[in-house]
Structure 1
Amino acid sequence: MAKRKGLKARLLAGAKRGYGFAGFLLRRSLRDNVIDLAAGLSYTALLALVPMLAIALSVLAAFPTFDDARERLRGAIFEILPSEQASAANDQFQSFLDNASNLTAPGVVGLSVIALLLLSNINGSLNHIWRITQPRPLASRVLVYWALLTMGPLLIGASLTLSSYAFTLAQTASEQVIGSFVGLSRLVSILLAAVGFALVYFIVPNRAVALRDALTGAVAAAVALEGLKALFGLYIANFSSYALVYGALAAIPIFLLWMYAFWVIVLGGAEIAAAMPEWRVTSRRDGGTERLANRLALALSVLCRLAEAHRDGASVQRARLLRSLPATPSELDESLSRLRRAHLIQRTSGDRMLLARDLSQVDLESLLEILGLRLHASIAWPEAPRRVIQALDEAHASYRKASLASLLDDPDLLESTARLRPVERAAPLKLDEQEEAGTVD
C-alpha cells in the first residue's frame, strides 16, 4: 500500500513537472516567435530548394552505394504531391538539375550563395532561439555549413537505403512479419532523423549544448516529423477536395504547407533543446520566476569568482563561471556582455574571462547602473508613486556607495554597513554608446 502511494506521488510530481515545462516551453516559443521564424525559413527554402537538392544529389552521386537512395530521394520529394501533378513536377525538376549541371563557374557560385543563404538563416534562427548575440567567426561558420551540406545528404541517403532494404525484406517475408519490417523501417527512419537533428542542434548554435538536451529535442522533432509524413500521406490518399479547388495548381499550397510544418517541427525541437537547461535552472529559483535581483546576484557571483582567480593571477573559463549557479547560459551571456562593455572584465583566448578593474574602486551604484537596475521613475508618473520609488532608492543609499570589494569580502550588510566607506572613484565607468543612448533595460 505504501509503495502504491509512493508511486502515485512520484507520478503526480512527474506530471506536475511535465505540465510546468510544457507551459514554460509554450511561453518561450511565443516570445521567440517560432511561427514567424518558420515562415521566414520556408520562404528562403523556396529559393534554395533546387541548389540544395543539386548539392545533395551531387554528394550522393560520389558514393555508388547511394545510387538507389538518390533515386528514392527524388521520388520521396514528390510523394506529397497529387499523382497528376507529380509527373510534371518531376520533369520540371529534372530540367532544373540538367540546367544546373551545365552552369559555368559564376553560376555555380550563385547557386552556392543561395544555398548558403538558407544555412545562414537557419543559423540565425537557432542563435535567436538559444539567445546568442555573438555569432561564430566566419571561418567557423563556413566549416559548420560545409558539414551540414555534406553530412545531411549522407544521412538522408543512409535513411532511404535502410528503408529500401527493409521494404525489400518485407516483400519476400510472410504476412506475419511484414508489419514488423514496416515498423522497423519507420523506427530506423526516426533514429536517423533524430541523429541529423541532434547534429544540427549540437553543432550550429554558438554555445556549448549538452548532448542529452540536443538528443531530447532531436527525438521529439523526429517523431513529430514521422507523424507529419503519416498525416500528409493519409490526407492526400483520402481527401481530394484541394484538387477541386486549386486544380492544376494544387501542388503549390500542399508543398508550401508541408515546408512550413517541417520548419515548425525543426524549430520546435530546437526550442525543447534550448529550454531544458533553462527550465532546470529556473525551476530551482523561486518556482521558475525571473526576478531583477537574480541579475544582480549573477553579476556579483561572476565578479566574485573572477576576483578569486585574479588573486592567483589566473583567468576563468566561461563555462566554469556558470557552474553550480542557478542561472541560464543566456543570462550569463547578457551579464558578461554588460560587464565587458563597462570594462569591468575582459575576454582572453580560449573563451576565458579575467577581471579588468580593481573592485575596491567600483561601488555598487555603478554596478546597478551597468545592469540597468536603478530605481528611477520618470517625471511622467504621478507624484505619489514617484515618491515611493524615490524613498526606496534612498533607503539603500548607504549600500550603493560601498565598494564591490568590501561587499564581497563582508556580505553581512546589516552589521557591516557602518564600517563600509564610500570609495573615491578614479573615473566613471564608461558604457558603450548603445547603453549611453538608454537602450539598457
Structure 2
Amino acid sequence: MRGGWSAHDLLISVVRSVVPTLPSTVPHRVPPPPGHVGWEPRSVAVERRSPGGPVNTDPTPSSERSTASGSPAEIPPAGWRYATGRAVRGFLSDQGTDLAAALTYYSVLAVFPGLIAALSLLGILGQRQQTLETVMPVLERVLGSSASETIAPVIGSLATAPGAGLALIFGLVTALWSSSAYVTAFSRAVNRVYGVREGRPVWKLRPLMLLVTLAVLVLVVAAALMLVLSGGVAAAIGEAIGLSSTVVTVWSFAKWPIVLVIVLIIVALLYYATPNVKQPRFRWISAGAAVAIVVWIVASVGFGLYLANFASYATTYGAFAGLIIFLLWLWITNLALVFGAEFDAELERSRELAAGIAAERDIQLPVRDDAKIVKGDRRLQADIDAGRRLRLAGRDSADSTGSTGSTGSTGSE
C-alpha cells in the first residue's frame, strides 16, 4: 500500500491507461465448460517455451500476479545479467536459428513487393526516379546481371508510371498485402519468444499486420529519402533553396544518426505491435531493439570480413554468389531481430521480478486477445471427446467379438 493505493488499484489504473474502455474485471482466459474432461482453471500466462502446448498450472497466488508491470522497480545489475543469460538460453531453446530461417524466407517473398510499395510512395513525393537510380545498381550487385536484367523492366516501369490514381492505389495495396507476410511471420516468432499462443481472430489480426507493414514502409521511405538526398542531389536542393555548402556538408553527416533512429523505431514497432501480449507501454527505442541493431552491425561487419578474406562463394555458386550472400545476410539480420526480441522479453521478466512479481516461470503480461485460443481449446476438447468415444466403442466391439468367439468354441466342444 502506497499513498492509499493498493496493488489491485495500481494494476487497474495502468491497464485502463492502455485500454481506456477496459471493464473492472477482464478474465485472461475463458476456460471450456467444466463438464469437459480435463478441464482445469487457467493461470495468467500460457506455459513458457511451449506455444500451443498445455496451459501453465503453476499455483502462483493472484495477489502476486496483480502488480502492474508498467512501473516496476529499476532493474539492478544482477537483473541485467539474469536477462542476458536467459535471453541467450531462450534463443537456443526457442530454436532462434530456425525462426530466423523462416523469417528469411518471408523476407525474400516480401522484399520486392515492399520495394514496389516504397517506390510507389516515393512516386507521390516525386523522388521515384532518384531512388530507382540508387536501387538498381544495388540489385545488380546482389542478384547478378542476368537476374537484375529480368526484373529491371518491371521496376523501371514504376519510374514512368503516373504518380497518383487508381492504378497506384491498387498496386500499393497489392504490394502492401504481399509484404505483410513477413510482419505476420514475425508476429508468430515473437509469440513463441513470449511463450504465448495467437489469440487474435484473423479479421482482427490481418488489418493490424497491414497497418504495421504500412507504418514500417513509411519509415523505410523516410530513411530512403534521407539517403537519396545526399551528394549532388543535396547540393542541388541546397542551392535551389538558398542553403550554404556548410549546411549541406553538415546534413551529409547528420543524416546517418537520424537513419539509425528510424531503424531503431522500426524494430521497436515490430517488437511492440506484433506479439499477442499487451506491453506496459510503447518504447520508441527499446533495449532489445538497440541490442538487435548492435548485434546486426557487428555480425554484418564480421560477415563482410569473412567474405573478403576467407569465403569463396563465387567459385562455389558462380553467378548465384550474390544471391546466396544476400540470403545469408538476411538470415543474419533476422537472427539479430529474434535475439533482440528475446532480450526485450527477458528484460520484462527482470522488471517484473524486481517489482516482486512471480515471473520466474512465466512472463506475467496479459494477452491482447484470447478468442482464438478459447476456440482452439474447445475444438481440441471436442476432438478429444470424439476420440475417447471412438476408443470406447472400439474396446466394446473387441470385447463383444471376444465373448462371441469364446461362446462359439465352448458350444463346439
Query: TM-score if structure 1 supplies the norm length?
Result: 0.53
**Structure 2 equivalent of residue 207 of structure 1:** 277
1:218 maps to 2:218: no
> Which of 67, 85, 103 is matched with 1:23 structurally?
85
Cα offset, 1:265, TM superposition: 1.8
1:127 maps to 2:163: no
Cα offset, 1:71, TM superposition: 4.0
1:93 maps to 2:157: no
Judge conservation of contact 1:127–1:205 (CA < 8 Å) in 2.
yes
> Which of 124, 145, 148 is matched with 2:212 structurally?
148
Cα offset, 1:94, TM superposition: 1.6
1:186 maps to 2:256: yes
2:116 and 2:290 mapped to 1: Cα distance?
Answer: 28
1:287 and 1:200 mapped to 2: Cα distance?
Answer: 27
**Structure 1 equivalent of residue 203 of structure 2:** 139
Unaligned runs of 5+ in 1: 1-12, 296-326, 343-430
**Structure 1 equivalent of residue 102 of structure 2:** 40
Of 188-197 and 133-142, more deviation after overlay is shown by: 133-142
For residues 286-333 of structure 1, give each alpha carbon's deviation from its aligned partner in whole angstroms, at most 9, with x where no partner exists: 99744xxxx9xxxxxxxxxxxxxxxxxxxxxxxxxxxxxxx6116999
Judge conservation of contact 1:130–1:330 (CA < 8 Å) in 2.
no
Judge conservation of contact 1:25–1:272 (CA < 8 Å) in 2.
yes
* Number of aligned residues: 291
2:86 and 2:308 mapped to 1: Cα distance?
Answer: 37
**Structure 1 equivalent of residue 399 of structure 2:** none
Distance 1:92 1:236, change over 3 A: farther
Identity %: 23
For residues 343-389 of structure 1, give each alpha carbon's deviation from its aligned partner in whole angstroms, at most 9, with x where no partner exists: xxxxxxxxxxxxxxxxxxxxxxxxxxxxxxxxxxxxxxxxxxxxxxx
2:251 and 2:144 mapped to 1: Cα distance?
Answer: 28
**Structure 2 equivalent of residue 281 of structure 1:** 352
Distance 1:137 1:288, change over 3 A: closer
Q: What is the root-mean-square deviation of aligned Cα atoms in Å? A: 4.6
3-state SS in 2 of match to 1:250: helix
Cα offset, 1:194, TM superposition: 0.7
Which gives a bigger RCO, structure 1 or 2 (Cα 8 Å, sep 6+)? 2
1:198 maps to 2:234: no
2:101 and 2:258 mapped to 1: Cα distance?
Answer: 29
For residues 88-118 of structure 1, give each alpha carbon's deviation from its aligned partner in whole angstroms, at most 9, with x where no partner exists: 44323324546999x9xx9999877654433
Cα offset, 1:256, TM superposition: 1.4
Distance 1:231 1:186, change over 3 A: farther
Unaligned runs of 5+ in 2: 1-74, 162-166, 237-243, 389-413
Distance 1:240 1:138, change over 3 A: closer
2:213 and 2:92 mapped to 1: Cα distance?
Answer: 30
**Structure 2 equivalent of residue 244 of structure 1:** 315
Judge conservation of contact 2:180–2:210 (CA < 8 Å) in 1.
no
Judge conservation of contact 1:190–1:223 (CA < 8 Å) in 2.
no
1:166 and 1:48 mapped to 2: Cα distance?
Answer: 27
1:91 and 1:146 mapped to 2: Cα distance?
Answer: 31
Distance 1:198 1:257, change over 3 A: same
Cα offset, 1:229, TM superposition: 4.8
**Structure 1 equivalent of residue 364 of structure 2:** 328
Judge conservation of contact 2:278–2:366 (CA < 8 Å) in 1.
no
Distance 1:129 1:95, change over 3 A: farther
Distance 1:207 1:20, change over 3 A: closer
Judge conservation of contact 1:29–1:271 (CA < 8 Å) in 2.
yes
Distance 1:121 1:333, change over 3 A: closer
Cα offset, 1:273, TM superposition: 2.3
1:269 maps to 2:340: yes
> Which of 254, 257, 260 is matched with 2:331 structurally?
260
Query: TM-score if structure 2 supplies the norm length?
Result: 0.56
Distance 1:193 1:74, change over 3 A: farther
1:292-307 to 2 correspondence within 5 Å?
none
Cα offset, 1:75, TM superposition: 4.4
1:248 and 1:51 mapped to 2: Cα distance?
Answer: 24
Cα offset, 1:250, TM superposition: 1.2
**Structure 2 equivalent of residue 375 of structure 1:** none
